[in-house]
């Protein structure tokens, strides 16, 4: 192998001769140097690009982790707020249930109803045969399960109170319609029902009511609820009030000083309907009280002494 070296300054040249292994090694060096340099440059470029990719990936991962952490914090905050709301709702339901139970026990006691049927001190009795369907495992939290139980107990209590209200309303209607007591607050019975000596003629005559004497101008009250069908003067009765109580019952209150109701008025039991007087065929201040049942006059004594339930 020959290697020619040219001197650019003087234009001279020298020739070097190599042989054997020296020639081979020199050839490898001349060829390997460019390849090695190219490989070095490629390695650096690849290494640098890989580092840039790894850094970018790490930045993306960090951003994603921060975002997920923020979502976890927000979810935790929302969950805590929901739990607080559920706890507040549970407390409200429990307080409402306590009030309903207390009210139910009070009504049951006042109304003297059977506590075996309306027992507000115990949870409602439930039962039934075992279901043949595959049992489902509930995944609801304890809070939701407790709320469901409270809602069911409230529904049961409300149903019982509705029944109690209906029973009491029916009882109230019956008590209001039921004729009981005297048509005065103060006074005494001065004449009974039946045959007696007429105070004006002295002859035996039928007295179709009872008389209650008292102070002039004292209250006359209705012995039952009903509708006023007469309010004014009537022959022999003077100023009179007549009340239709339904069920075939009518009462009359006569010899009044003044009537406090008019025809068509709805009156309640115990309401003042007139003032005691001596109008019409009368010898002094009193109220003549009559009771009619299906159009026939009956002895008021049975209703005067009947106790309301």
pLDDT, tens digit, 9 for 90 and up, residues 27-62: 655 555 555 555 655 555 555 555 555 667 767 777
Domain endpoint, select from 66, 84, 104:
66
> ∠ CA(283), CA(258), CA(263), 5° rounding?
120
Pick the closest to residue 187 from 92, 107, 276, 113 (CA basis). 276
Distance set, CA 2 to CA 17, 18, 25 (Å): 4, 6, 13
pLDDT at 221: 96
154 class by beta-carbon count within 10 Å (0-12 exposed, 13-18 middle, 19+ buried): middle
In a domain, 216, yes or no: yes
Query: Which residue would you say has higher pLDDT here, 96 or 234?
Result: 234
In angstroms, the CA 293 to CA 178 distance is 12
Give 63's pLDDT tier (boundaries 50, 70, 90): confident
- Number of C-alpha atoms within 13 angstroms, CB side, residue 278? 8
Domain endpoint, select from 66, 92, 119:
66
Give 139's pLDDT tier (boundaries 50, 70, 90): very low
pLDDT at 305: 82
In a domain, 86, yes or no: no
pLDDT beyond 90 at 263: yes
23 class by beta-carbon count within 10 Å (0-12 exposed, 13-18 middle, 19+ buried): middle
129: phi then psi, degrees, rounded to nearest 5: -65, 155
Give 178's pLDDT tier (boundaries 50, 70, 90): confident
Task: Give the mean pLDDT of 252-277.
Answer: 95
pLDDT at 308: 47
pLDDT digits (tens, 9 = 90+) for 211-234: 999 999 999 999 999 999 999 999
Domain endpoint, select from 66, 90, 112:
66
pLDDT at 23: 59
pLDDT beyond 80 at 89: no
Give 16's pLDDT tier (boundaries 50, 70, 90): low
Query: Which residue would you say has higher pLDDT here, 176 or 188?
Result: 188
**Residue 302: both structure tokens together:** 């049975």
Report yes or no: 241 and 273 within 8 Å, Cβ to Cβ. yes
Q: What's the structural domain count of the chain?
A: 2
In angstroms, the CA 221 to CA 162 distance is 32
Residue with tokens 């109304």: 111
Report yes or no: 217 and 211 within 8 Å, Cβ to Cβ. no
Report yes or no: 90 and 146 within 8 Å, Cβ to Cβ. yes
In a domain, 220, yes or no: yes
| Residue 55 structural domain | 2-66
Paired residues of 246 in beta bridges: 249
* pLDDT above 70 coverage of the chain, percent: 59
Task: Give the mean pLDDT of 20-24.
Answer: 56
The DSSP code for 137 is P
In a domain, 136, yes or no: no
In a domain, 28, yes or no: yes
In angstroms, the CA 24 to CA 209 distance is 156
CATH of the domain at 284: 2.70.70.10
Average pLDDT of the chain, as a whole number: 75
pLDDT at 274: 97
Tell me the helices (H) and strands (E) count for the chain, helix number first. 3, 14
pLDDT at 69: 75
In a domain, 107, yes or no: no
Query: Which residue would you say has higher pLDDT here, 195 or 5?
Result: 195
């Amino acid at each position: 192998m020959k290697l020619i070296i040219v001197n650019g300054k003087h234009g001279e040249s020298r020739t070097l001769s190599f042989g054997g292994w020296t020639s081979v090694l020199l050839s490898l060096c001349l060829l390997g140097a460019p390849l090695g340099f190219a490989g070095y440059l490629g390695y650096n470029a690849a290494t640098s690009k890989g580092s840039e990719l790894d850094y970018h990936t790490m930045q993306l991962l960090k951003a994603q982790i921060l975002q997920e952490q923020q979502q976890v914090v927000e979810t935790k905050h929302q969950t805590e707020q929901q739990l607080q709301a559920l706890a507040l709702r549970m407390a409200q339901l429990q307080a409402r249930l306590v009030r309903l139970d207390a009210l139910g026990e009070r009504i049951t006691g006042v109304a003297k109803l059977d506590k075996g049927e309306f027992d507000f001190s115990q949870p409602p009795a439930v039962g039934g045969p075992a279901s043949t369907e595959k049992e489902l495992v509930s995944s609801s939290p304890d809070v939701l399960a407790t709320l469901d139980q409270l809602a069911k107990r409230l529904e049961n209590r409300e149903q019982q109170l509705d029944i109690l209200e209906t029973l009491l309303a029916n009882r109230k209607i019956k008590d209001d319609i039921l004729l009981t007591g005297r048509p005065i607050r103060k006074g005494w019975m001065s004449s009974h029902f039946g045959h007696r000596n007429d105070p004006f003629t002295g002859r035996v005559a039928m007295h179709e009511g009872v008389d209650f004497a008292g102070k002039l101008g004292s209250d006359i009250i209705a012995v039952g609820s009903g509708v006023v069908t007469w309010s004014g003067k009537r022959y022999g009765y003077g100023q009179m009030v007549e009340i239709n109580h339904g069920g075939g019952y009518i009462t009359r209150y006569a010899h009044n000083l003044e009537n406090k109701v008019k025809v068509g008025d709805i009156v309640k039991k115990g309401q003042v309907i007139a003032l005691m007087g001596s109008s019409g065929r009368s010898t002094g201040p009193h109220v003549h009280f009559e009771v009619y049942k299906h159009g026939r006059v009956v002895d008021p004594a049975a209703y005067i002494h009947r106790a309301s339930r």
